[in-house]
Structure 1
Amino acid sequence: MSEAVVDDILALLPPLLQSLEALSFVARHLHPPDFDRVMEMVGAPEDTLQAARSQLSEWPDRFAGVRAALEAGSDAALSAFALLRAVQHGNGDLAMAFRALRYAPQAQEALYPLAAKFPPINEFFLDPGVCEDADLLARLAEPAAQTTGIVHDHNEPGSRGGFSLYVPEYYTTSRAWPLVVALHGGSGNGRAFLWSWLRDARSFGAMLIAPTATGSTWALSGADTDTPNLMRILETVRSRWNVDPTRLLLTGMSDGGTFCYVTGLDSASPFTHLAPVSATFHPLMAAMADAERLRGLPIHLVHGRLDWMFPVEVARHARDALAAAGANVTYREIEDLSHCYPREVNAEILRWLNVS
């Protein structure tokens, strides 16, 4: 690799990864009354990124793929910050802030293929607690097994009903693997929501499916076209990979969390564990559920005390109603969480699923 290429990468990677961490911080702490304070807390890593991006030199053609990935990741991060700064300066609303954060998964998707080549990117896609795990790092350093990594099945942006799949690169057929099915929030899509869980699935050894609803959101009323589609996706994956039938987790954010109840409490559901996050709940969901299905069913509830869309009292009622109906409920209420996805709970949920 030429000296100019090395210098460019050394200048670009730190602010790029710092910018992505900053966007993750904003996404986690996005509470309307605190928006300006949160933006001040992250500083301005995009300024250094913009400078490094604009000063890239000419690269040999053999590095074109690497350059394209770094440029795409940088441009997505910069686009996110441009919209966030517009909101901060009074030129946009909160809806624009949420649109801005949609660029972060695009940046991660662009960068992930470089994780095997660049240790800082590899570390970015690992839980901090395992970054010095010699055994895991050695397994990730080996050539990826066939049929592993990220696959998108009819899940292009704007499409409905497809799914994105992550299989750890060190997957082997010699054991059954836990599976996380993670449902996006209203108007979202699985291709983007995949990145809410990929770091943890990669770090702790779980397969991950992020499906996209068949409609604009999950089938919370009317005809349920999503449950049959989820079963189709699940059977597709189970037919090709060795999935542990005793560790099938259904989780989701907001509308996705609510749909965990709708489909996961059905007597025919194959899911062994449910983990709704920032979801709404009606007591009739517990009252109408199959009593045998609920008895002892592990359910892990996560909700924010600052949630402005579904007040925390909703989650407390869900906890009490499900426990009274016989479910084995774990409840986590997060003091500083608004209506956001708290990625820090993923490792805890995986431990609860007996993933090590």
Structure 2
Amino acid sequence: MSDNIKADQTPWAVLLIFLRLGLTCFGGPIAHLGYFRDEFVARRRWLSERSYADLVALCQFLPGPASSQVGIAIGLSRCGYAGALAAWIGFTLPSAIALMLFATGLSHFGHLVPAGALQGLKVAAVAVVAQAVWGMARTLCPDVARVTLMVATTCFVLLVPSPFAQVGSITLAATIGLFVFKPDQCEARELLPFPLRRRTGLLWLTLFFTLLVALPALSAAFPSQGLALMDVFYRVGSLVFGGGHVVLPLLQAEILPAGWVSNETFLAGYGAAQAVPGPLFSFAAFLGASMNQAPSGWLGGLICLTAIYLPSFLLVIGSLPFWERLRHNARTQAALMGVNASVVGLLLAALYQPVWTGAIQGPGDFGLALMALMGLMFWKLAPWLVVLGCGVVGGVLGLAL
């Protein structure tokens, strides 16, 4: 028994376990968390049910991809920093490689792909984002106050299309939440099994905020495409609240105005990201590989992927020593309620621009989007199957560009 436990506590073992999950975890972050619970609570008993629930609560509180952050924390609990890195590599590598291969094929052989097939991928993105908006709104906006905050955020960011408007709307929503919302008192929980000192956590959090300030300054002082990519993707990874789909409006506001990737390529890649297992943040690897300027290809994909995930590492490791006190703070919970409503509004705005306006160009597009949405919400089809079907139908019917 002890030999098995020791074998499970090596970075190599953690890598292989998460690699299998990265190859099989379809369905988005909520589904990923279900896979993780089956693997690490029910089967391997690395965490208790309550400890796992507390860990999920922490990662949903932080900006970034919740499922990937839970994986990083589980790897950290097994064998330290090497385990955290092994968990991230194993879970992220399959989807990142698949999307970089797709980007490379699109750039070299895109002329051979029927235009209707790419259009079908863009239409699939409409259905996927619409489903995400609906599901998140039902959970995070259950009352009039939060619905109002959601709609106000949507209108604001559509009227003021700027990354600063998006960040400002989240900040304002947090402030409103402090005064408007009254969260329920949290019940007592057991301590999380992560014996990190507060001094260590403070060091990682300081590094997070230092990079958030330093990268824009370095990018302005030493203009280069590589530094610009690091700045943009690190900043986006630091500000994404509410799950992987919310990365869409933030990236769209940064990438498209700069002319780094065309809107058609952006939406086609986002649609393709629904068809691969693993985290949606791997979409960053597709964008990096699709850049119109160097670095692009595999190097660009690696830079963007690393930059967008780096905040997750720093925030998870830095926050663990402080979480027990923070999660019981009523003011923190109230602010988070406002932030959650605001991010649903951000995603609703993205559903209109660029997803809807870039994909729905005729009755055929609209009909295919309705069929895809019905497949996701009522037939309960896997997202990858819906995306594949939209691509095939688009290629066969030659939907209007």
TM-score normalized with structure 2 length: 0.24
TM-score normalized with structure 1 length: 0.26
The structure where strand makes up a greater share of residues is 1
Which one scores higher on RCO, CA 8 angstroms, separation ≥ 6? 2
The structure where helix makes up a greater share of residues is 2
